[in-house]
Amino acid sequence: MSAKVLLVDDSSTALLMGETLFKEHTSYEVVTARDGEEGVRTAVAEKPDLILLDVVMPKMDGFTACKEMRKQECLKSVPIVMVTSRGEPRNVEEGYRSGCNAYLTKPINANELLEVVHMFIPLRSKRAAAAVKDGNCK
């Protein structure tokens, strides 16, 4: 079974970039969400192996969405990578405080994104994939 990546971004361009990269250059399955609330719902329903999360989004921003995801038992160990235009140090710090594992700034560099994703997905498969697939999500 291939790994599943959840992309959460309100930008069609950013989603297209992620979808293109993962569909053409990996075997990962891709699911998408367009705002923070939908991102949390989709994460709970889909139980992805990795989440790429924008920060500035309608309804619920990425920091809040990240905290909400971490409250869910089934998402506690899922790697979350913030991918955002907000590269100022205070935003990076807030990202890590909200529970993300890595922080990438836009504009997206395809090679960098793939490297980070490849770094996290094997780690997670070894550690927790099986457990989380059966975990409890509210």
Partner 1 sequence: MNPDSRTGQDSSLADIMEAGSRDFRRQSIEQGSDLSLWTKLYVANQTMLSALQQRRMSEALVEICSNLLGCEELAIIEINRETGKVQFVTVEGLQKEKTDFVASNGRQVEGRISPGNPYVCADPESTIESELVDSGISAIVPLWVDVRSSGALILFQLLPQRSGFDAEDREVLNLLSIFAGPCLRSQRRD
Binding site for partner 1 (CB under 8 A): 11-14, 16-17, 20-21, 24-25, 85, 87-88, 105-111, 114
Cβ closest to partner 1, residue 102 vs residue 108: 108
Cβ closest to partner 1, residue 9 vs residue 68: 9
Helical axes 89-98 vs 62-71, angle rounded to 10°: 20
> Which residues sit opposite 83 in a β-bridge?
104
User: CB of residue 38 vs partner 1: minimum separation in angstroms?
Assistant: 19
- The span from the CA of 7 to the CA of 5, in Å, is 6
Cβ closest to partner 1, residue 20 vs residue 125: 20
User: CB of residue 94 vs partner 1: minimum separation in angstroms?
Assistant: 15
Task: Output the CA torsion sign for 94, 54, 111, 3.
Answer: positive
